[in-house]
Amino acid sequence: MPYRAPVEDYRFLFDHVIGLPEVAATDRFAEATPDMATAILTEAGRLCEDVLAPLQRPGDLHPARLENGVLRTSPGYAEGYRAIAEGGWIAIGANPDHGGMGLPMLLTTAVNEMMAAACLSLQLAPLMTQGQIEALEHHASPEMQALYLPKLVSGEWSGTMNLTEPQAGSDVGALRSRAEPNGDGTYAITGQKVYISWGDNDFTENVCHLVLARLPDGVPGTKGISLFLVPKFIPDENGDPGARNSLKVISLEHKMGLHGSPTCVMQYDGATGWLVGEAHDGMRAMFTMMNNARLGVGGQGIGVAEGAYQHALAYAQDRRQGRTPTGDGTGTIIEHANVRRMLASMRAETFAARAIALACAKAIDMQTATGAAQWGARAALLTPIAKVCGTETGIAVANTGIQLHGGMGYIEETGAAQFLRDVRVTAIYEGTNGIQAMDLVGRKLMDGGEAALTLIEEIETAAEAARGTLPDLAGPVWQASESLREATDWMLAQTEMTERFAGAMPYLRGFARVLGARFHLAAALAEGGDGPRTRLARFYITRLLPEHAGHFAHATQGAADLYALTASDFVA
């Protein structure tokens, strides 16, 4: 079925749940008025519906390929990328000094999600460039910014990030790539990187790689890593692509999904690179890009959830199977109770994940606009939750979409399976979801839980205020937030990190459940307590929110039972 951009959902969330007007009230984002937001969403939605969505299936059927060392992208991708670039969508949040629109992360997040829903394989290309732009804006020298940022912002050049090596996945500090000073301010980069999304293409003039490598005096581990910008073509004296650099794509990964997105094995053989930021401080610079990408990856999961939901809904409205319990019994399968349960779950989960991602984006915007530490802390807290919730929702909704299709969901021609194949990797890259959960209970609680407890207090206050209007919904939300507070207190009481890590993922899932309920409650209140959003909120709060109790029971068990298992127990 054709994809339809959920513009109205975003407008509702902006105006009534998340609070775009608060962002627009700052001097930094004063141009982000409701009319501006509507215009951005409408135009981006049109691009996604008319240009990108038709590329979704062809990219899956006709993957990117490597021919005699030259990368060939899927049919139509070059034209689709040009439409993205010419529309200014690659860097709508980038600094206007370099050609960006300077708009809030809220709008960037919405646009990125719609593009991911329409064609995730292609959307990965601008997402990588966006992350590189942010890293260079924060850490590159003025000279490097002046040369590279306008080209990246315009889409003439594209960007990647190179972290992973065959022996160093999540353990980035184990990398072996090295950087040798050339004596002229440049460095010779040598090493191999794997899983590099859009490591090359045939539609931009240059591909700029951010590469982690170790200088000769770099100490072992992450503290000895530096970051380098290594372009495919070395810019000449006019800033145009010049001599070919000593790097190449040596193979493409054969993946479960995302066939239209070339995932490359990159080889650097003394390639010329330039240091970004300070020597041995590469991880700090790279984390700027990774944190940007983590929110973006969460949005990719939400986008796929939206696409899978729309696909399943269209099928349920058309497919006739069995006697239905309404009317004369000859209705479509949407009339069956279990099908309705699946569809309601898909829609309610997607709304909750979308709201969480937008709340994270708003916190980033408010920190950017005001410099207030509490907004920075809120953004840091919500980033791992948004990444995990968004990607897990995408996987769950896509999986449910296959189930709803029945046997036809397992048949590739229906397109239902592609959503699950494409989205599955989002739970792995930009920091696996397990690592995100560990970050939440570890680093993000190092403030004594101040950021988390402040957010919990806000949820409880909002639920308490809603008791007079929607008592049947407000009560469970308040009680669930109390359970979240207790689970957070338990985490804070554990001084041994392994005790926290053993329950990190269920804690994050429970946290996301409570946040989702908070936003559903806000939507119902904004609607006046009667309407489709209220009915969806009631479904989420009465049927899905109770799962929080199981999550928190799991989260607070500690690690003893896990380590009581012996090696032989796993094979018994």
Instruction: Show which residues are catalytic.
Output: 430
Structure tokens that stand for 48 in this block = 């996604």
Residue type, 427: A
Structure tokens that stand for 46 in this block = 């049109």
SS3 240: coil
Geometric angle at alpha carbon 521, from 516 and 522, rounded to 5°: 100
All residues at 6 or more sequence positions from 226 whose CB lies less than 8 Å from its CB, including other chains: 179, 212, 213, 214, 215, 218, 275, 277, 279, 280, 281, 282
Q: Determine the angle formed by the axes of helices 105-139 and 34-47, rounding to 10 degrees.
A: 90
Q: Strands 241-244, 233-235: parallel, antiparallel or unpaired by DSSP? A: antiparallel
CA distance 265 to 196: 6
Nearest to 211 by CA among 142, 153, 283, 147: 283
Structure tokens that stand for 546 in this block = 């109770």
Q: How far is CA 403 from the centre of its chain?
A: 25
DSSP state of 218: P
Backbone torsions φ then ψ of 88, nearest 5 degrees: 80, 15
SS3 214: strand
Structure tokens that stand for 280 in this block = 């041995």
Q: How many residues does the chain have?
A: 572
- Beta strands (DSSP E) in 24-146 are 65-67, 70-72
Structure tokens that stand for 506 in this block = 């269920």
CA distance 405 to 302: 20
Structure tokens that stand for 483 in this block = 């359970």
Q: Within 10 A of 185 (CB to CB), how many other CB atoms are there? A: 8
Structure tokens that stand for 452 in this block = 């988390």
CA distance 260 to 47: 19
Q: Are 170 and 435 in contact (CB under 8 A)?
A: yes
In angstroms, the Cα distances linking 278 to 92, 140, 274, 275, 308 are 28, 9, 11, 7, 44
